[in-house]
Amino acid sequence: MKLSFDSSETEAFLKDGPQAKIQIVDGGHFALDAATGKIANLVDCFLTIPENPA
């Protein structure tokens, strides 16, 4: 899979949010068109995570 960015850039997200869950989707520049089902599933899973009050 050829990424449209450097995958090491994801480390910056983890510095800001160590509990972040990062998913790299093989979808190219038009990821929403190429990987619609995968992205929809990831968004659905994200939206159904129970809130953890601080």
Residue 38 inside a domain? The answer is yes
Q: What's the confidence (pLDDT) of residue 33?
A: 94
Residue matched to tokens 């929403």: 32
| 31 falls within a domain | yes
Q: What is the residue range of 26's domain?
A: 7-47
3-class state of residue 54 by DSSP: coil
Is 23 part of a structural domain of the chain? yes
Per-residue three-class SS string for 13-47: HHHHCCCCCCCCCCCHHHHHHHCHHHHHHHHHHHH
Number of domains in the chain: 1
**Is residue 54 included in any domain, yes or no?**
no
How far is it, in rounded angstroms, from Cα 5 to Cα 7?
6
What pLDDT is recorded for position 47?
A: 93
Per-residue pLDDT of the chain (54 residues; tens, 9 = 90+): 666 677 788 888 889 888 888 888 888 888 899 999 999 999 999 999 887 765
CA pair distance 32, 40, nearest whole angstrom = 9
Residue 2 in any domain: the answer is no
